[in-house]
């Protein structure tokens, strides 16, 4: 599961979520104001990797790695 830590007033958070929606990528939005250890937003967690900011290349890379891992695991199960 992809987690996105956001705040209501962060324009980059909203841009990131809009981009994920356009890509058809499911994610869980978490209010960063309830997380004392998060000091900058957006923060995206993908497959154990933490990406700070709307770093599209890093997010695409992490998503590709997650997809490859999922495909590898489903091939083993078949």
Concatenated DSSP letters of 22-55: HHT---EEEEGGG-TT--SS-EEEETTEEEES--
Quickly state the pLDDT bin for 72 (edges 50, 70, 90): confident
Q: What is the mean pLDDT of residues 60-68?
A: 93
Cβ–Cβ under 8 Å, residues 24 and 17 = no
State the DSSP code for 53.
S
Is 80 exceeded by the pLDDT of residue 78? no
Bridge partners (DSSP) listed for residue 44: 4, 51
Report the mean per-residue pLDDT for the chain.
Answer: 92
Q: What is the mean pLDDT of residues 16-33?
A: 96
pTM beyond 0.95, yes or no: no
Q: Which CATH number fits domain 3-77: 3.40.30.10, 3.40.50.2300, 3.30.365.10, 3.30.565.10?
A: 3.40.30.10
What pLDDT sits at residue 52? 97
How far apart CA 68 and CA 76 sit, in angstroms, is 12
What pLDDT sits at residue 16? 98
């Amino acid at each position: 599961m992809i987690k996105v830590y956001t705040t209501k007033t962060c324009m980059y958070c909203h841009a990131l979520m809009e981009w994920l929606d356009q890509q058809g990528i499911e994610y869980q939005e978490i209010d960063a104001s309830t997380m004392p250890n998060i000091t900058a937003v957006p923060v995206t967690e993908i497959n154990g990797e933490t990406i700070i900011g709307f770093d599209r290349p890093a997010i695409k890379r992490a998503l590709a790695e997650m997809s490859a891992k999922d495909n590898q695991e489903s091939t083993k199960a078949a």
